Amino acid sequence: AKNAASATTDGIEADVTMAVTDRLELGAGVGWLDAKFDDFAGGQRYLPCSSFTGGLVDASGNCAALGGLGLGYEVANLKGNTLPFAPEWTGFLRAAYNHPLGNLGSIAVNVLGSYSDKFSFSPDNLYTQSSYWLLNGSVAWRSSNERFDISVFGSNLTDETFYTMKNTFNLSGWKIQGRPREYGVRLSYDF
């Protein structure tokens, strides 16, 4: 691993929450980020072996030992590349509704949609994650004495496929998929 000589990160975030009524609350937020290497002269840039002349790299660079298959690397200046895990745009939309039921307690509904723009997983920007939305939600009942709760929840409700990590490996790479659609029930009691 090598350190970049310098990088510049500029960004701005804004969010707002508004009580539409005493029962309904809406929120939204957006973030913009410009994060790039100013200079990274000793960076490693991974390339498919077929892009090297004859499919071979130098004695220390992987492809020759693999018969010209997989990935090889070259030392390059990664100036101008985006920093890893730095999407240009992010955002969210949120709605929360609480409905009192008198002696029967109350019902609360929450919905949250979050957005991430495309980003890379490494300084060479070889592997990237496409932009995606995640949708989460819950419906909860709380007793009138506020001691007992039961909620039904779901995350990644649209079953969006996304990745939390991608990295290089001799013959190509590996990746870790983010959590798929999940749902469940939570019970809680305050003594």
What is the tens place of the pLDDT at every residue in 166-185? Answer: 887 666 678 899 999 999 99
Q: What are the φ/ψ torsions at residue 186 (nearest 5 degrees)?
A: -120, 135
113-128 pLDDT, tens per residue? 999 999 999 999 988 9
Average pLDDT value for the chain: 88
Say yes or no to pLDDT of 91 above 60.
yes
80 dihedral zone (left: phi>0; alpha: psi -120 to 50; beta): left
Q: In which band, very low, low, confident or very high, does the pLDDT at 81 lie, cut at 50, 70 and 90?
A: very high
Q: Which residue has the higher pLDDT, 65 or 152?
A: 152
Q: In which band, very low, low, confident or very high, does the pLDDT at 75 lie, cut at 50, 70 and 90?
A: confident
Residues 178-191 as b/e (b if ≥16 CB within 10 A, e otherwise) read eeeeeeeeeeeeee
Say yes or no to pLDDT of 62 above 60.
no
Tokens found for residue 115: 């957005």
Question: Can you give the pLDDT at residue 180?
Answer: 97
Q: Which residue has the higher pLDDT, 152 or 47?
A: 152
* Least reliable range by pLDDT among 11-25, 70-84, 109-123: 70-84
